[in-house]
């Protein structure tokens, strides 16, 4: 019998899928679950847990086999400002992905680049045997949210986490969530505290401006950035820097 031709899959990219579409953040959890259930049923993917583990293992093996292929983060997606991105996962593996990724962040000391991993939940009222009970449900099954600074290293760590099939966005160009998409998720950034204020002298400790001294002229809690006036060619120049890359010097 002739050998079957091996299918090589680039890490973070599903076969024959050019773009992983973002979920509709305007829909309710019940609507999302209904659509997901219909998709699974129509595609014949209503598998038992053991079968799902087998599918995942095969996908991971294919990704590892293709590790030597050229596959780089699109340069236009690189940012030195923390944003919320959406990672697509195997259905039912959202919490496992969250736990595994948080462990990888700790092991690789990436706490100053990958800040938070969330599986958005909401309480849904269920009535069983005449009893009303609030049950926590995933708002967007198959998706995990990651607050991170997008660069080659962080992109590699997230997309190669077991259970992740890729970032939402075309190919190797992850697309961050907009402010309008973040609001219904209950993600708030306004209560973040920093140890510097406008007018303080600070040092930039990472990125292209590393080891540069400057003065804080503006703080944006929504974007988690500070505008720093630095000296460039004898002139004061404002640059926008992530909170994680700024340290107070006085």
- 208-245 pLDDT per residue, tens: 888 899 999 988 776 778 899 998 888 889 999 888 88
**Which phi and psi angles does 148 have, rounded to 5°?**
-155, 160
Averaged pLDDT, 152-167: 92
Among 3-17, 38-52, 67-81, 107-121, whose mean pLDDT is lowest? 3-17
Superfamily assignment of 19-185 in CATH? NusG, N-terminal domain (3.30.70.940)
Averaged pLDDT, 171-194: 72
**Which phi and psi angles does 202 have, rounded to 5°?**
-135, 165
CATH 2.40.50.220 assigned to domain 201-248? The reply is no
pLDDT (0 to 100) of residue 229: 93
pLDDT (0 to 100) of residue 121: 79
- Where along the chain do its domains lie? 19-185, 201-248
CB 121 within 8 A of CB 214: no
Q: For the segment 183-211, what is each residue's pLDDT rounded down to a tens digit?
A: 666 665 545 667 888 899 999 988 888 88
Same fold across 19-185 and 201-248: no
pLDDT (0 to 100) of residue 9: 46
Stated pTM of the model = 0.54
pLDDT (0 to 100) of residue 157: 94
Which structure tokens are listed for 77?
């997606």
CA angle 178/117/219 to nearest 5° reads 55
pLDDT (0 to 100) of residue 138: 81
CB 135 within 8 A of CB 124: yes
Averaged pLDDT, 142-152: 92
Average pLDDT score over the chain = 76
pLDDT (0 to 100) of residue 228: 93
Q: How far apart are CA 67 and CA 188, in angstroms?
A: 37
pLDDT (0 to 100) of residue 141: 87
Top pLDDT among 128 and 18 is at 128
Q: For the segment 68-114, what is each residue's pLDDT rounded down to a tens digit?
A: 444 688 888 898 888 899 999 998 899 999 999 999 999 999 988 99
Averaged pLDDT, 138-165: 91
Among 25-34, 169-178, 192-201, 226-235, whose mean pLDDT is lowest? 25-34
CB neighbour list of residue 230: distance below 8 Å, 6 or more residues apart = 204, 209, 212, 213, 214, 236, 237, 238, 239
Cα 168 to chain centroid, rounded: 9
């Amino acid at each position: 019998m002739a050998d079957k031709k091996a299918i090589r899959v680039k890490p973070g990219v599903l076969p024959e899928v050019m773009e992983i579409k973002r979920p509709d953040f305007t829909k309710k959890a019940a609507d999302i679950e209904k659509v997901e259930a219909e998709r699974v049923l129509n595609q014949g993917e209503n598998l038992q847990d053991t079968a799902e583990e087998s599918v995942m293992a095969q996908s991971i093996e294919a990704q590892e086999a293709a590790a030597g292929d050229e596959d780089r983060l699109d340069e236009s997606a690189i940012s030195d400002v923390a944003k919320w991105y959406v990672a697509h996962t195997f259905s039912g593996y959202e919490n496992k992905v969250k736990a595994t990724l948080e462990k990888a962040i700790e092991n690789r000391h990436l706490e100053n680049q990958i800040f938070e991993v969330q599986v958005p939940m909401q309480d849904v009222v269920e009535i069983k045997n005449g009893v009303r009970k609030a049950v926590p449900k995933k708002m967007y099954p198959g998706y995990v949210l990651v607050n991170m600074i997008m660069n080659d290293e962080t992109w590699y760590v997230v997309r190669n986490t077991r259970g992740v099939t890729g970032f939402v966005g075309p190919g190797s160009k992850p697309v961050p969530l907009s402010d309008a998409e973040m609001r219904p998720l209950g993600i708030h950034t306004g209560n973040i505290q920093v140890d510097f204020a406008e007018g303080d002298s600070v040092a930039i400790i990472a990125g292209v401006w590393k080891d540069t001294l400057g003065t804080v002229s503006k703080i944006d809690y929504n974007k988690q950035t500070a505008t720093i006036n630095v000296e460039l060619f004898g002139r004061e120049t404002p640059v926008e820097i992530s909170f994680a890359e700024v340290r107070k010097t006085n």
